[in-house]
Amino acid sequence: MKILFLMLIFMVIFYFVDKNKNKELITNKDKNEYIVRTTKIYVWIGIIATSILLTAYILALVFSEDKGELWIKVAFIGLILLCVMYSNSTISRRIFVNSNSDFFIYRTFFWKKYEIKYSDINDVGVNLLFSYIKSGRKTFYIDKEAYNFELFKNIIEQKTMRKFK
């Protein structure tokens, strides 16, 4: 029964991801500027997981007679930090694209911005979960399910004459 409940939760999450993704693509079709980003539901998943773990950790500290071992506290704090990093990654990682310019701007997990010219792209490709763009010594990864990724992919293929393989 628990497995069916978990499957139902994941199906609902994926439904909303697909629904919002299609809505976002429609609103950006006429514009020259758009943003490639992951879906907002990932931010909410990270925030909810952080809240649950943080609440459980605080309740365990306050109401527990046995304070537990150090490795349990470290594991809880590690999981909380992973959830916070997950939310930050969803918020921070974006690609700013103007279809009329000869470059795009890639913003990383640490909020650092890279201006990448289409002429500097060495290789593009797709692996199991991500697409990648190699420019110079750097490799940039993009979630294949990100909003506006197909539009961005088409622009790269047109401007660089390289196909995603």
Give the pLDDT band of residue 22 (cuts 50, 70, 90).
low
Q: What is the pLDDT of residue 115?
A: 92
Give the pLDDT band of residue 70 (cuts 50, 70, 90).
confident
Q: What is the pLDDT of residue 26?
A: 45
Cα pseudo-dihedral 92, 116, 29, 109, rounded to 10:
-10
Q: What's the burial of 110, exposed, middle or buried (CB within 10 Å: 0-12/13-18/19+)?
A: exposed
Q: What is the pLDDT of residue 59?
A: 83
Tens of pLDDT, residue by residue over 134-144, are 988 889 888 88
Look at residue 5 and tell me whether its pLDDT is greater than 70: no
**Structure tokens, 115:** 């201006």
Give the DSSP H or E segment for 145.
none
- C-alpha 140, offset from chain centre: 13
Look at residue 39 and tell me whether its pLDDT is greater than 50: yes
pTM given for the model: 0.71
